[in-house]
Structure 1
Amino acid sequence: MSSVFDLKLTVQPEHIDVLGHVNNVVYVSWMQDVATAHIEQLGLGLKEYIVLKHAMVAVEHHVQYRKAAVEGEEIILRTWLNDINALYSFRQYVFYRPKDKAVLFMGNTQWACIEIATGRPKRMSPTFTQAYQPILDTENPLDFSAYDA
């Protein structure tokens, strides 16, 4: 069973665009960063992909920008798996700002399993399907109360 995974960061100057807030492309980059950190924590990250000769690649992203973030703010990047089948996993994201209890961003990605050598679709091995489990129905991925002071 997987669970929600959080990665804390502080918005840096390089994240800011000419309008003075986090650039939209940075949010997509953060999706990749938190997903990578999560799979590493699950014990099936990039190093294991090479050994197993197959990997997960992004097929489709959906994003919703809700509020702007600015330099110096602490942000919680949260991700979790909400579904999986033989070829695909489906990952959700919520980025949260604790100081005002604001959801800044929501998104999801459909990931496909491929054979690294050919780039062709491949059924997930049992190693993948065991590691990449959806969160339990009883877990609320939008509960950030642990960060509320």
Structure 2
Amino acid sequence: MTTVTNGIPYRFEIAVRPEEIDFMGHVNNAFYLKWVQKAVLAHWRSIASFDEVNAHLWVALKHEITNHRATFLGDIVCLTVRLKNVQGARAFYEILIQRGQDILAEVKSSWCCIDAQTLRPTRLAREVVERFIQRPHARYNSSAEQASNGRTGLTKTVSSKLRNEDGSELGQ
């Protein structure tokens, strides 16, 4: 099991639409699950490469929702997604749904990674999982590695071996 203690938070905004409102005048809880699915998949696409996105599918296994407040037409809500751990082909997320500072719901969600060709569960490579982890004091091995990498942003940061400030390799 890979525990992700510093999962990079991913923010995903939703504007509440009329079709999401139920007979009681607020968002039907079923839409919270649709929002979670959109947010988790957007998180995956924001970190994975094009080839990784095409090689892996994600299937939701379980959602546990704790509702705190109702959501209404016209609200703009933000889902903050964090990967908490990976165990084999399974990924466990925590999602916070907020309107401004108000917490509307908290969601624990588990997913299974599926190989797009075989449609069987598959583990993500460690280097892919590492991209979900925030490394606050990481730096490149050398400026030569950095220059030769050719990628930008987070993908560039994690594709090289990362080092702590004392020079030791991260994860050691």
**With structure 1 as the length reference, what TM-score do the two structures score?**
0.75
Q: Structure 2 CA distance, aligned partners of 1:116 and 1:21?
A: 37
Q: Structure 2 CA distance, aligned partners of 1:75 and 1:119?
A: 34
1:123 is matched with which residue? Answer: 123
Question: Relative CO higher for 1 or 2, CA cutoff 8 Å, sep ≥ 6?
Answer: 1
- Structure 1 stretches lacking a partner, 5+ long: 137-149
2:166 is matched with which residue? Answer: none
Q: Does 1:33 align with 2:35?
A: no
Q: Who wins on radius of gyration, i.e. which is larger?
A: 2
Q: Structure 2 CA distance, aligned partners of 1:60 and 1:44?
A: 26
Aligned residue type for 1:3 = I
- Give percent identity, aligned residues only: 26
Aligned residue type for 2:65 = V
Q: Structure 2 CA distance, aligned partners of 1:43 and 1:117?
A: 17
Q: Spell out, residue by residue over 1:5-32, the C-alpha distance to the aligned partner (whole angstroms, 9 max, x if none).
A: 1122221212111111001111000001
For the residue of structure 2 that corresponds to 1:17, the secondary structure is coil
The RMSD of aligned alpha carbons is 2.2
How many residue pairs get aligned? The number is 130
Q: Spell out, residue by residue over 1:18-66, the C-alpha distance to the aligned partner (whole angstroms, 9 max, x if none).
A: 1110011110000011112211221347x6332xx33332111111121
**With structure 2 as the length reference, what TM-score do the two structures score?**
0.66
Which of these residues, 80, 83, 107, is aligned with residue 81 of structure 1? 83
Aligned residue type for 2:15 = T
Could you list the structure 1 runs, at least 4 aligned residues long, displaced by more than 6 angstroms after superposition.
Answer: none
